[in-house]
Amino acid sequence: MQDLVNFVWDHPALLTGVGVFLVILAAVIVGLIARFVLVRLVNRLISDLSFVKGTDFVKAGIITRLANAAPAMVISSWISEVPGLPLPVVTVVRNVADSFIVFVVAIAIGSVLQLLGSLWQKRHSDSGRSIKGFVQVACILVYIVAAVLIVAIIVNRSPLILLSSLGALTAVLLLVFQDTLLSLVAAIELSTTDIVRVGDWIEMPSMNADGDVIDMSLYSVTVRNWDNTYSTFPVRNMVSQPFKNWRGMTQSGARRIRRSIPVDQSTVHFIDEECIDKLSQLRHLTDFITQEKQKCEDWNARLGASAQVPGNRRRMTNIGLFRAYAVNYLKSRPDIRKDLTLMVRHEPPGPNGLPIEVYCFTNTTEWITYEMIQADIIDHLLAMMDDFDLKVFQAS
């Protein structure tokens, strides 16, 4: 053994090779030990925490990345102890090892930030708010700092000198990263104002988007449309272009019905006593007709003899009774909200008839149920128009 040691000692090149081999071997052994120790250390540190588990760190790759820094630390510390290794080579190897350590630590910090973001998202999944954009911004800042440190280590200069020299490049950086900066501002505005969340139904015709927001990142928003297609567009468009958010409708538990029935204006007329008696048998009109008849009698009584002129008398019309019937019919339905606006009104008459608009709110926001309620109401009113001697206008 002594002879072997003397032989190696007498051959500088061989001695240098053995030294490099021992440093590499030590780095590998330390790396394996570090990985094992880090796993146990992390499990012990977080054993009392309820919102995170050691398996979460393993899946995120944090332990693996930190363990990879241990071999580089060994090489950086011991490479100068290798006999016969030229100083420039030692400097280069140490700088590369130190740069690798900074790179690994930055990646590990990014993984920690992403893990914390995902844990926050799980705990606040009901809120629909996303902090993915903030996590990405934090990761970018970490990577920028790491890049400055790596360059400073490689060129063997102070990071402050590099940062001071970046002032001249500010305009160029703003030009190159303008999309990122605009997206950053937009993402912060969306998160702070809470105008849109993951899970919201939005309509954005300019982006061909009509569906649920399924993802919001620093750069883009992804919407799953109702036809099962996906629309992806820059997040800055959410603050520069108009869109409709249906969250208020969903939270209110009510959805509006606003449909018009065009009435043929030639079928609108006053009704006689026979027709009044016939319509008064409808349960939705019995009380209304009784009240209206009394109002007409009182009005005509005040007119005296002039009430004999048909144009002076107050009389009921078929379309007026139809509107009253429609309102009472809507009020009788259990699937229509009575605490919100409920009316049946005239829209301006035109060449396509006299539109009678039904305006009310259902007590559900579920799409299929809503459409069935709306169709049932319009079906019933269309079918009842003949009883009032009204016709639907249809262009010939």
Q: What is the 3-state secondary structure (H, E, C) of the chain?
A: CHHHHHHHHHCHHHHHHHHHHHHHHHHHHHHHHHHHHHHHHHHHHCCCCCCCCHHHHHHHCHHHHHHHHHHHHHHHHHHHHCCCCCHHHHHHHHHHHHHHHHHHHHHHHHHHHHHHHHHHHHHCHHHCCCCHHHHHHHHHHHHHHHHHHHHHHHHCCCHHHHHHHHHHHHHHHHHHCHHHHHHHHHHHHHHHHCCCCCCCEEEEHHHCEEEEEEEECCCEEEEEECCCCEEEEECCHHHHCCCEECHHHHHHCCEEEEEEEEECHHHCCECCHHHHHHHCCCCCCHHHHHHHHHHHHHHHHHHHHHHHCCCCCCCCEHHHHHHHHHHHHHHHCCCECCCCCCEEEECCCECCEEEEEEEEEECCCCHHHHHHHHHHHHHHHHHHHHHHCCCECCCC
| CA-closest candidate to residue 298, choices 314, 277, 318, 282 | 314
Long-range CB pairs of 210-219, under 8 A, 24+ apart, other chains included: 215/130, 215/132, 216/130, 216/132, 216/133, 216/187, 216/190, 217/132, 217/133, 217/136, 217/187, 218/132, 218/133, 218/136, 218/137, 218/140, 218/180, 218/183, 218/184, 218/187, 219/179, 219/180, 219/183
> Which pLDDT does position 76 carry in this prediction?
77
- The domain made up of 190-250 has a fold known as SH3 type barrels. (2.30.30)
At 273, list the tokens: 């006593």
Geometric angle at alpha carbon 183, from 178 and 189, rounded to 5°:
130
Q: Is 164 exposed, middle or buried (0-12, 13-18, 19+ CB in 10 A)?
A: exposed
The answer to whether the CB of 392 falls within 8 A of the CB of 264 is yes
Q: Which residues of 82-110 are buried (b: 16+ CB within 10 A; e: fewer)?
A: beebeeeeeeebbbbbbbbbbbbbbbbbb
> Which pLDDT does position 203 carry in this prediction?
92
The answer to whether the CB of 105 falls within 8 A of the CB of 145 is no
Rounded Cα distance, 102 and 282, in Å:
84
Residues 6+ apart with CB under 8 A from 159: 148, 149, 152
Rounded Cα distance, 292 and 317, in Å:
11
Residues 6+ apart with CB under 8 A from 157: none
Confidence (pTM): 0.58
At 354, list the tokens: 């006299």
> Which pLDDT does position 8 carry in this prediction?
44
> Which pLDDT does position 337 carry in this prediction?
94
Rounded Cα distance, 211 and 209, in Å:
6
* Mean pLDDT, contiguous 10-residue spans, the chain (396 residues): 46 62 77 74 62 60 74 77 72 80 84 76 62 71 80 74 61 66 75 80 91 84 92 86 88 91 93 88 90 83 68 82 95 94 93 94 93 95 94 85
283, 289, 294, 300 alpha-carbon torsion, rounded to 10°: -170
Residues 6+ apart with CB under 8 A from 199: 128, 212, 213, 214
Q: Where in the chain is the domain with CATH 2.30.30.60?
A: 190-250
> Which pLDDT does position 5 carry in this prediction?
46
Longest dimension (CA), the chain: 144
